[in-house]
Structure 1
Amino acid sequence: MKKRTKRKNRPIVFKDNFLNKILVLAIILLFVITSFSAAQPQNPTTITTTDDQARGIVWDVTVNFNEPGGAYDYTVFGEAHGAHDGPPADAYDVLKPPAPMPPYIRAWLNDNLPFPYNKLWKDYRHYPGINKIWNLSVQWTPSDDLSPTTVTMTWSPTAINSTEYASITLCTSGGTPLKNMLLESSYSFSCPADIPQGFKIICFANQPPNVPSNPTPSNGSTGVSVNADLSWTCSDPDGDSLTYDVYFGEGSSPPKVASNISVSTYDPGPLSYSTLYYWKIVAWDNHDASRAGPLWHFTTHINNPPNTPNNPDPSNGATGISLNANLSWNGGDPDGDSVTYDVYFGITSSPPKVVNNQTALSYDPGILTYYTVYYWRIVAWDSHGASAAGPLWHFTTISMPNRPPYAPSNPSPANGSTEISVNVALSWSGGDPDSGDFVTYDVFCGITFPLPKIAANQTGTSHALDHLLYSTKYYWKIVAWDNHQASNASSVWSFTSKTDSTLPTVKITSPIKGFLYVNFWDIITRKLPIFFTTIVVGKIEVIATAADSQSGVDRVEFYIDDEYKATDTTAPYTWTWSEWGYFFPYRLNVKAYDCVGNQNSAEMRVWKVF
């Protein structure tokens, strides 16, 4: 049997040189395409439509994404008239193409659309908007699937400012602000490998102010004060600060009278009476958005005359008014107009005008005359020529004031005189300067101060004094009173009474000469005549009488042999002689003194035993 030999494998060799060339070119083309895809973003599927303007795209913003190695991507968000927000997908939702070969950056937008529209390259929403959020995701995929990188987002603030939004902010996925895209143009962040990083682009559109409302004066109101201020209420839905333009006038197309005021009130100044005014308010926020209010109108009231002058001072019919009195009254105007006054004043019932066009509510007529009737009235004028006259008032001034009586004078006895009788009549001059007044007098007289009042309310100008003390200085004064209880006092005068030159009389009435007096302890008492002398056995009551017809008796003193024993000041004047005697003749002496010091005495000899 013939042995079969084993066949060795050999590489295929193209004998046709043309086919070899075709194979090489295919390999090179595949390499170029792969390299280009890794370096450039993939163009998404385009929408077959007309140009953007015809499609109604109002604005769009391109956000670029770069990293240091050269990887690049971009995405677009914007608004169009025909687009709508959220599901279902429409022709304005452009899909993100498949990812290229690593390394690459892949960015997409998410409008909560179902697959495959959950990753959008271009996301257009409906124009216009108030508040919108674009959800943005960025993923970095390196060749080794491990290395992080720094990704920088960039955009054009000019394109951002072409939107209707007042605020566009790049935020974290949780809403934390990162960049104000209206003012800044880039944001860099560290991006880990293969982990999508979420962001939000949050947009808030400025809303115009609310329509001005609640006008004061209310729309169509009448009888409005000519001093009224305009006020209104207005707010902003975004909480923006507001300013206002005020249009005001007498026509239905009022001119602008104030602009850019920050308060919701306006003072148009004094208005005219019985006039129809139109006004409106245009509110502006700090983003130059405005809102005009409706056209309002009101009519001012007719002019009322001033208030009739009232509440006069002095009150009408008053009496006893001071000569220095001022005139005053109440006035004013129901419309709040300024008011001036004409004053009529005099002593007749048609008083003349003494002042005009004064603004004060009082008038000083100067010094008036006693006990005179004065007439006066006030005419009030407002700034529009309307007037109101008050009634005719009158008052009476005080009478001549009461003057006190004359001070009593011309005293009798004359001041300082001496040797005046102890029975004397005091007299003086008096009277009152006011005719018709009558005067009474109080009399004060004594030897010590304060002087006692010895007579009151007497009408005569004399007063009798009896039984004065001799050799005594008396003081006196007179107080005059009129029938209005006004008084006037004289000076204090004095005089000295007649000198007492008469001695007092004194006589011893017990014991009596020619008697024997016996007293044993008040048990046995006898009085016996013995005719020739006076003998006292035991004690005896010595008794004396004294008198003085002028100054009177001041005291009586008792002596034995010139030795003082006792004094008695009241009658009967007595002293008990109880000292022991030794049957020896003693000299008993009794001395009487009058009130001016005159002295007289009486004495006798007495034999005293025991």
Structure 2
Amino acid sequence: MTYWLVTGDGYYILAGYTESGNGDKDAIIIKLDPDGNVRWQRVIGEDGYDEIIRSIDLASDGGYILAGCAYNYSAGNADVYVMKVNSNGIKEWCRFFGGDNYDEAYCIKQTHDGGYILAGVTQSFNQDQDIYVIKINGYGEEEWYKLISHQPYNCEDSGRSIVQTRDYCYAIAGSTGSSNNYDIYVVKLDHENLSPEQPNHPIPWDGETDVDIDTILSWCCSDPDNDPLTFDIYLGTENPPPLVETGYRYTEYQYPELFETNTTYYWMVVAHDNHNHETAGPVWKFTTGYPQNTPPYTPSSPYPENGSVDVPLNITLRWKGGDPDPNDSVVYDIMFGTENPPPKIVENYTMTNLSVSPLNRNTTYYWRVISRDDHGAVSAGPLWHFTTIASESDDIPPCVKIIRPGRAVYLFNHEIIRFPVTLVIGYVEIEIKAVDNETGISHVEIYVDSVMKANLSSEPFTWRWSDVMFGIHTIKVIAYDNNRNTAEDSIIVWKFF
């Protein structure tokens, strides 16, 4: 019983072999408390085999990894023997490595990736004895092995100890020589390309609740070889989550849609380096909350302005509304009439303008708008009023102006640059402002080169000019009020296509 280690809780683990009554050598493991009292003892072996333990190390899961050799009486050879036991000394698995002759491990150590590295001797692969290095994963499956010889012939090499260095290489100490003339032999192996570190430190943290529905996912991950990394992202409401992104290059990810409220999401990140190595992170989860609702904006900026007089008899009420929460929809209840307070005439209205024509002359009207979002939050606008025109006759012409296009270059309705003349390529939206403070606007006619193209009877007064034309053209608009008074405006346009 010559191999031992101290556990993190101050106990001692001893390992070696013991001979049973039938002559077999079996592996033995003993745990002692700080006072030397036996806490448990395990003897592990198979009939027909000698299991001899040469090395023990603490595994990352709290168990123990042991290595040595197992001699098979029937085959007449010895193989490298590796056994994994849990924290109570119960065997979880064992593995055998080597060839047809003598193979034995003298040292085993846990590696940074959760696997193990072994060093020992082998006589199975060459005429002489070589150092035998084996790398296995956390389940005991061989990843690679390497034979090390100081010289090709008449040399016996032995690896007695191995460690993983800070730069993830492997340092081996042992001996080399022949005919009882041996030297200390130290070898350092460059490491194989290593897998990425496991993705960690998630945000939102695992199990977090009341997470914003527009949260950005983030995590930390690095590579021991500083290889460039890409990530596969799995995200969804089921566990395991589905793949939503592959080949992603960053450690922050924003889902293209808002998360559902009060919903649990599962997510996982798999890191890939450029050597076809991958490391999967654990499945994390978070739960969204209910976003705090903000009431809609108070209706404002009325037209006609509050207290206006001489208002035309044909008008469209307008106001500003909306909601500060971008995903909320807003509807409006409109109160309008000659009484104060006015009666409700429309409810659950979705627009911010309403025609109330025709009105009576020399009459005061009261109106109010109440906005309501889809969470039931309400904002009531103030009480507004205006008075219509009193005159029986209207000989004052309306006002009309072509607002767009102006002096600029337009490419398919997009203003590209200011320009001394109006140049249109493709189509353009013609916008007209027409106002009459007496009887209101009846309609607006639009002409291109004296040919009428549109007759607009309500706001907004806009028309898309999409005719394929080339050269210089005149756009003219004529506005009519409700007493047949007119006004006009015109512009010169260069049009192509």
Q: Normalising TM by the smaller chain, what interval?
A: 0.3 to 0.5
Which structure shows the higher strand fraction?
A: 2
Which structure shows the higher helix fraction?
A: 1
Scaled by the length of structure 1, the TM-score of the pair is: 0.34
Larger radius of gyration between Structure 1 and Structure 2: 1
Scaled by the length of structure 2, the TM-score of the pair is: 0.40
